[in-house]
Amino acid sequence: MNTIAEALEQLRAGRPVLVADSQSRENEVDAVLSAELATPATVGWMVRHTSGYLCAPMTGERADHLGLPLMVPRSQDTLHTAYTLSVDAASGVTTGISGHDRSRTANVLADPAATPADLVRPGHMLPLRAVAGGVRERGGHTEASVELCALAGLAPVGVISELVHDDGSMMRMADAEPFAAEQGLVLVTIEALIAELDARGAAPFSSPRAVGEWNPDRVTRVAQAHLPTRHGDFTVVAYRDLRTGAEHLALSAGAVAEALDGPARGTSQQRAPQQTAQGASQQPVQGALQQTVPQQGAPLVRVHSECVTGDVFGSRKCDCGAQLDRALELIAAQGGVLVYLGGHEGRGIGLAEKIAAYALQEGGADTVEANVARGWDPDLREYGAAAAILRDLGVRQVRLLTNNPDKVQALAGQGIGVDQVVPLVVGVTAQNIDYLRTKVAKMGHLMDVESMLGVVDAGDGPVLGRHAGQGPVSERHAGGSPVSERRAS
């Protein structure tokens, strides 16, 4: 067995090293290359001696910079390997599969100057996203290869593939040692790498030299326009999520919209639609407006998860459509932002799966039980994109329209201060009362559903529901720990 120092020396020389994980994990040995130094010869060697399924591990920030969302929103891989969309280099390749072409793609993935436009999707290499805590959080070859490249002073992007025998079976440690000796290669373990990092006191993916300015932001601003609605006039900005590929919207009114539109905005409904330059759409947002939004009082903000059945079709199974309407009314009147998050259908399971969960609810399951029965967690949503959008709009403090403590905690964890939590309890119907009770009892939502029940509509008339901040449900201040307040149902 070799030392980590020997492995780093080999990586700097552009040679592959062999890395073994624990016998209790995959019990596999991967060949690891620096993507920065990959050549047709070294990639060709990997194809001959491995499965040929070449992956390119990198940090999540690097994947975001290159516009590489996860291949699927929820991985069913037992080891939670974070595959992104496959890629080829956009230039300098033919079919993309040869050793020359895949080494070219690896070089592009490691190039700090590369942009999303330098790659085509799909392709013949599989980028992988390493977890933020590195190999000490997840002891996989993905994280190990990125850590090794960083320690070697190279771009923290690797190329990896599993060693196999001539008959195609996996090569284990017992066979990897004689193979390494035969090939003149260095063999190390992930356990030894973790010990080396601990001895150095190194942060995850730390490098002795800086490798480019890789922007870690989450979203790209794509377009901007004026949007008159039945609730009022808004400025709408479209965003693309660099992590998931989803599209999001921000509808703003008042000071935030004025900062977006500049002096020409006024109050006229004759504003011409605006769109960012095509080139700018390729760059992550930089929060350029943060100094232009007036700071006297936090704007009203709603982070709304997309719900086609409720928002578009007016479903009475949920309160989403009623919440969307009321939030837009309040924001139009008071000023603020509604962030509409794509990819959140059915709390993240998708539209078709949500309909399948509805069928289970008709058989007696509640909304949480139905998602779990379909093989999903109760709630797969996360709100990093919402925080990134608010930062781009110059919003650092908010009055948050929500009943969901997870949203309060998520925004606060991303540096968005929540000055006040404004309850949004509307749209109670005979068809969704049990759904709302479940959200309180099992998901900790902060709303007094029972206080809404003077008369519950069971037909086609208006639904019952006091508006946000009215009646027995009062505004709660985030500083007074409202997130921990849970009503017993």
* pLDDT tens by residue, 171-197: 988 899 999 999 999 999 999 999 999
- Model-wide pTM > 0.75: no
pLDDT of residue 208: 53
**For residue 441, what pLDDT is reported?**
85
Question: How far from the centroid of its chain's Cα atoms is residue 141's Cα?
Answer: 22
> Average pLDDT of 470-474?
34
Number of domains in the chain: 2
Do 194 and 223 lie in one domain? The reply is no
Residue 379 a catalytic site member: yes
Structural domain contains residue 147: yes
Residue 437 lies in a domain: yes
Domain match, 241 and 190 both: no
Question: Which residue, among 122, 175, 142, 113, has the nearest Cα to 32 in the 3D structure?
Answer: 142
Examine residue 208 and state whether it is found in any structural domain, yes or no.
no
Cα 266 to Cα 410: distance, rounded to the nearest angstrom: 34
pLDDT category at 266 given cuts 50, 70, 90 is: very low
Q: Is pLDDT larger for residue 440 or for residue 40?
A: 40
Residue from 129, 381, 391, 399 carrying the catalytic annotation: 381
Are both 259 and 385 inside the same structural domain?
yes
One domain for residues 226 and 192: no
If asked whether residues 85 and 227 sit together in one domain, one would say no
Same domain as 146, residue 279: no
Looking at the fold, whether 159 and 119 belong to one and the same domain comes out as yes
Known binding-site residues for GTP equal 302-306, 323, 345-347, 367, 402, 407
Task: Return the residue matching tokens 């932001």.
Answer: 217
User: Are 240 and 149 in a shared domain?
Assistant: no
Does some domain include residue 110? Answer: yes
How many other CB atoms are found less than 10 A from the CB of residue 281? Answer: 15
Least confident of 28-42, 136-150, 261-275, 434-448: 261-275
Tokens of 157: 């992007």
Query: Is position 475 within any domain?
Result: yes
The total of other beta-carbon atoms located within 10 Å of residue 77's CB is: 9
Sequence-distant (≥ 6) Cβ neighbours of residue 425 within 8 angstroms:
319, 403, 447, 448, 449, 452, 465, 466, 468, 473
Domain-ending residue, one of 156, 171, 200: 200
- 341 closest CA partner among 73, 33, 43, 41: 73
Residue 384 has pLDDT above 80, yes or no: yes
364 falls within a domain? no
Question: CA-CA distance, 417 to 411, in Å (whole number)?
Answer: 7
> What's the CATH number where 33 sits?
3.90.870.10
Secondary structure class of 481 (helix, strand, coil): coil
Task: Give the per-residue pLDDT at 296.
Answer: 55
Q: Give backbone dihedrals phi and psi of 391, rounded to 5 degrees, phi first.
A: -60, -40
* Residue 141, burial from CB neighbour count under 10 angstroms (0-12, 13-18, 19+): buried
Query: Which residue matches tokens 């330098």?
Result: 118
* pLDDT attached to residue 144: 96
Annotated binding site: 302-307, 318, 320, 323, 345-347, 367, 402, 407
- Distance between CA atoms of residues 359 and 26, nearest Å: 38
- State the distance between the two ends of the chain, measured CA to CA, in whole angstroms: 60
User: pLDDT band at residue 263, thresholds of 50, 70 and 90?
Assistant: low
Do residues 255 and 261 make contact, with C-beta atoms less than 8 angstroms apart? no
Give tens-digit pLDDT for 96-123.
Answer: 999 999 999 999 999 998 999 999 999 9
- More confident: 344 or 474: 344
Ranking 140-144, 277-281, 363-367, 402-406 by mean pLDDT, the lowest is 277-281
DSSP state for residue 311 in the 8-state scheme:
I
pLDDT band at 447 (very low <50, low <70, confident <90, very high): confident
Residues 256 and 148 in one domain: no
Region label for 14, one of left (φ > 0), alpha (ψ between -120 and 50) or beta (otherwise):
left
- By CB neighbour count within 10 A (0-12 exposed, 13-18 middle, 19+ buried), where does 91 fall? exposed
Domain housing 305:
219-344+381-484
Structure tokens at 480: 């007074």
The answer on pLDDT for 468 being more than 50 is no
392 tagged catalytic: no
Long-range contacts (CB closer than 8 Å, 24 or more residues apart) made by 84-87: 84/126, 84/127, 84/128, 84/129, 85/121, 85/122, 85/127, 85/245, 86/121, 86/122, 86/123, 86/124, 86/125, 86/126, 86/127, 87/119, 87/120, 87/121, 87/122, 87/123, 87/125, 87/127
Residues 172 and 92 both lie in one domain: yes
Binding residue positions for Zn(2+)? 307, 318, 320
- Domain end marker among 171, 200, 229: 200
Residue ending a domain, choose from 200, 231, 266 = 200
Question: Taking a C-beta distance cutoff of 8 angstroms, is the pair 147, 157 a contact?
Answer: no
What is the pLDDT averaged over residues 344-355? Answer: 93
Q: Do 174 and 227 have their domain in common?
A: no
pLDDT band at 230 (very low <50, low <70, confident <90, very high): very high
For residue 329, the model assigns a pLDDT of 97
Residues of the chain with pLDDT > 90, as a percent, come to: 56
pLDDT at 210 over 50: no
pLDDT band at 452 (very low <50, low <70, confident <90, very high): low
Asked if residue 359 is part of any domain, the answer here is: no
Give the CA angle between residues 460, 465, 471 to the nearest 5°.
160
Model confidence at 456: pLDDT above 60: no
Q: What is the pLDDT of residues 11-66, one digit of tens each?
A: 999 999 999 987 666 678 999 999 999 999 999 999 999 999 999 999 988 998 99
Of 242, 416, 239, 222, the closest CA to residue 341 belongs to 239
| Inside any domain, residue 361 | no
- Average pLDDT, whole number, for the chain? 83
Query: Choosing from 379, 391, 399, 448, which is the catalytic residue?
Result: 379
- CATH number of the CATH domain containing 394: 3.40.50.10990
| Selection from 323, 263, 315 nearest residue 432 by Cα | 315
Tell whether 390 and 275 lie within a shared domain: yes
Most confident stretch, 19-28, 182-191, 368-377, 447-456: 182-191
